[in-house]
Amino acid sequence: MPPAIILLGLAQRPTRGNRGRVDNERFKFLNSAMNTTEPYRRLAPWLRHRFGAAVRIIALDGGGTCPNRDGTLGQGGCAFCNPHGSGSGLAAQGLSLTEQYLQAYHRLAQRVPQAIAYLQSYTATHGPTGRLTAQLAELVGLPGLLGVTVGTRPDTLTPTTWQVLCASPVPVLWLEMGLQSAHDASLRRIGRGHDAATFARACHEAQRYGLPVCAHILLGLPGETLAHLRATIAFLNALPITGVKLHNLLVVRGAQWEVSWRQGRLPLLSRAETIAWVVEAIAALRPDIVIHRITADPAPGELIAPGFAGDKRGLHAAIHAALKSTGTTQGCRLALPNPTA
């Protein structure tokens, strides 16, 4: 990876007066002076470079639901999702967003005094927009808070939702948006409820409103091969996204796929295959995209299979060893246009 590389930067979001126009400050390509000796653009050093010190992501459970659970599109959620909608369940226990944030923040405040709050559970943009407005307002002014990242689906971003997001006083805000796969057949198999084109349209709308997008994809979906993964990465490379999370397919307690796996109807990648798929994804990914995650991170007690996914540290070490042994760096298999041509 070259010492100077383009980076999609986070800048001030559009003000009320310029909503609806492309925020050139946020989406322009910037020359980055951050250390690029690592094989891929990791989130932690990128945040440190962007904000001048270490930054912690604090996941929050805002309760709510999603259109795949409340009957809007379906019930039971996507096939891979846990009953808490990837949240902690703390909202159901009566803890407010402020209480959740402060509990997590004070544990590490002396070592990591800056944080970004992640509205993770279910779909934060689904339901009454007043609820999202109140949640964003509640987080403003909390100690050490730099910004908020909002978990969303591309089919829940209405014109009113975009207005709420852009009007928020939170200084830094980006979207965590699930794609999972660029293949509509795979999206139908997992009961996603939207197609890849819907995701693409939402990414372009986000760019128009000056909101960065971190895309989520699943590696090893039933019926998919490495060729499908390469096509999904190529799909993302063509979109105005700023980040990506790579999740290896898991079976978690309470998900629809738990039954399928116990009946022997859900094949999973082996450990060696998982490593190879992650390496392939990194090699094919546009080099300016920040990689927020290279593996899934199951909550304590929820993982059923594969067992090796519970050893996050060991799996990460094996992936980094594979990157090093193969000389793989982010984007090394991506044919970038020659800017001088």
11: which DSSP letter? -
- Token digits of residue 43: 């989130």
Residue 248 is predicted with a pLDDT of 97
Residue 338 is predicted with a pLDDT of 43
Residue ranges for the chain with pLDDT beneath 70 = 1-36, 84-92, 335-341
Domains for the chain: give ranges and CATH numbers. 5-73+85-326 (3.30.750.200)
- Token digits of residue 167: 């009007």
Calpha distance 223→245 (Å, rounded): 21
Backbone angles phi, psi at 338, to 5 degrees: -80, 115
What is the rounded end-to-end Cα distance, in angstroms, of the chain? 21
Backbone angles phi, psi at 247, to 5 degrees: -120, 120
Calpha distance 208→204 (Å, rounded): 6
Residue 236 is predicted with a pLDDT of 98
Over the chain, what is the mean pLDDT?
86
Maximum C-alpha span of the chain: 59
Helix (H, G, I), strand (E, B) or coil at 290: strand
Q: Which residue has the tokens 């993982």?
A: 303
Q: Which residue has the tokens 């990414």?
A: 203
